[in-house]
Chains A and B, each alone.
Chain A
Amino acid sequence: MTWPRPWPRSVPDTGGRSLVLRRELAELARLRDWADVFSQNLRLPGELVFRLQLCLEEAVANIILHGSAAPEHPEIGVTLSESDGAVTAAIEDQGQPFDPREVEARPPPASLDEAAEGGFGILLMRRFASDIAYERVGARNRLVLRLEPRPGEA
């Protein structure tokens, strides 16, 4: 498995850690364990860790379930870095262009009968990440989530 160099890029070199995942849901456990080590090393507050775990799971699961891979480069790359208590997660893949910010925000359903069963992922990511940036870089989707600590977060 090769990943075109240089990768990842445009993430400030603040001692960030990178992980390359196969495009399989089973990899989410490995992603979580890896992010947990990162969080523990930095002693991040529990609620921030929850938000980070959720955003990573939603972003990567989305790519695996709804993205379409370039056969030669099916991997997904994740980089985590931290600065002043804020965590930045960069997620790159070489699938078809997909910008999660373009997904229409659905209004909350009025009742259980009207509720769709899915579609909560994008909403959760938008509320739990302080900032979501997306760019298409050549053949890559590049999603950068920034999670700033929130007042009162334990």
Chain B
Amino acid sequence: MEIIIEDLDGNITRIVLDGRLDVAGAAAIDLRFSTVSGSRRAVIVDMARVSFIASMGMRTLVSGAKAVRIKGGRMVLLFPEATVEKALRTASIDTLIPIFHDMAEAVAAVGA
């Protein structure tokens, strides 16, 4: 599991995740993900290259989203692949961290 942090215009942070968000994958990114989330107010998590997710991965995402929220900010998920999105919606993660399939919409959602 790899994590890449990008700074976009408007103080928006794009976190790109690449790999499997299983127990091992979640553990691999957890510290960096939570550190970045805890210090940013507008976070877009690009999930396009996430091929799998299980509960530990969801826990990492929710934990990060809560950290952003405490700072008065917002986190959204972008481009999750179909089966990953299905798993997220099954666990109602989408009601906590909105899912977008359009970059402009994601930017608008975190930027306000």
Contact = CB atoms under 8 A, between A and B. Distances in A.
A57 B69 CA distance: 29
Interface stretch (B4-12, B39-47, B88-96): B88-96
Given A28-B23, A28-B24, A58-B54, A124 B90 contact: yes
A54 B91 contact: no
Contacts of B87: 50, 54, 124, 128
A24 to B, nearest CB: 11
Contact of B90 (A29, A61, A127): A127
A16 to B, nearest CB: 23
Interface string A111-132: 1110101111101100110000
A121 B54 contact: yes
Interface in A31-47: 32, 46-47
Interface string A82-115: 0000000000000000000000000011011101
A124 B24 contact: no
Interface residues of A, number: 28
Contacts, number: 70
B20 to A, nearest CB: 8
B69 A112 contact: yes
A112 B90 CA distance: 16
Q: Which of A54, A119, A127 has the most CB of B within 10 A?
A: A54
B35 interface: no
Interface of B: 22-24, 27, 52, 54-56, 58-59, 62-63, 65-66, 69, 83, 86-87, 90-93, 95-97
Given A54-B87, A120-B93, A121-B55, 7 more contacts: A25-B24, A26-B24, A54-B54, A61-B23, A61-B55, A120-B55, A124-B91
15 contacts: A29-B24, A32-B22, A53-B54, A61-B23, A61-B54, A109-B96, A112-B62, A112-B96, A117-B59, A117-B63, A118-B59, A120-B58, A120-B91, A124-B87, A127-B90
